[in-house]
Homo-oligomer: A and B are copies of this chain.
Amino acid sequence: QSNVTIYGIMDAGFVGERGGKNGNVSKVSAGVANASRIGFKGTEDLGGGLSAVFQLETGIKGDTGELDANNTLFNRQAFVGLSSKTAGTLTLGRQYTPWYNAFVQVGDPFQAGLSGSAKNLFPANGINVRNSNSVYYKSPDFSGVQAELFYGFGEQKGNSTGRQLGASIAYQNGPLNARLAYNYRNNDAASGNVVTQNQSGHNSLLAVNYDFKVAKAFFMYGANQGRNSVAYPSGSDTAYSTARVLPSTDSKNLLLGATVPVSPVGSVVVSWSSVDDKTAPNHDADQYAIGYLHSVSKRTTLYTSYGKIKNKNGASFTVGNNAESGSGDAAYNVGIRHTF
**A interface with B by C-beta (< 8 Å):** 1, 3-8, 10-14, 22-23, 26-28, 30, 36, 38, 40, 42, 44, 46-47, 50, 52, 54, 56, 58, 60-67, 70-82, 92-94, 132-135, 153, 155, 157, 159, 193, 296-297, 299-300, 335-336, 338, 340
Contact = CB atoms under 8 A, between A and B. Distances in A.
Given A81-B336, A299-B52, A63 B93 contact: yes
Given A26-B153, A153-B27, A72 B78 contact: no
A1 to B, nearest CB: 5
A299 B80 CA distance: 13
B135 A10 contact: no
Contacts of A40: 6, 8, 38
30 contacts: A3-B7, A4-B6, A4-B8, A6-B40, A10-B56, A10-B93, A23-B157, A26-B153, A27-B133, A28-B93, A28-B133, A28-B134, A28-B135, A30-B78, A36-B80, A38-B40, A47-B297, A52-B299, A60-B74, A63-B78, A64-B132, A65-B72, A65-B74, A65-B78, A66-B71, A67-B71, A73-B73, A81-B336, A92-B335, A92-B336
Please name the 7 residue pairs, one residue from A and one from B, whose CB atoms are nearest each other, closest first. Answer: A65-B74, A10-B80, A64-B132, A65-B78, A12-B92, A3-B340, A10-B54
Given A22-B157, A300-B52, A78 B60 contact: yes
A131 to B, nearest CB: 10
A136 to B, nearest CB: 11
A217 B340 CA distance: 42
Nearest to A53: B338
Most buried by B among A8, A58, A73, A135: A73
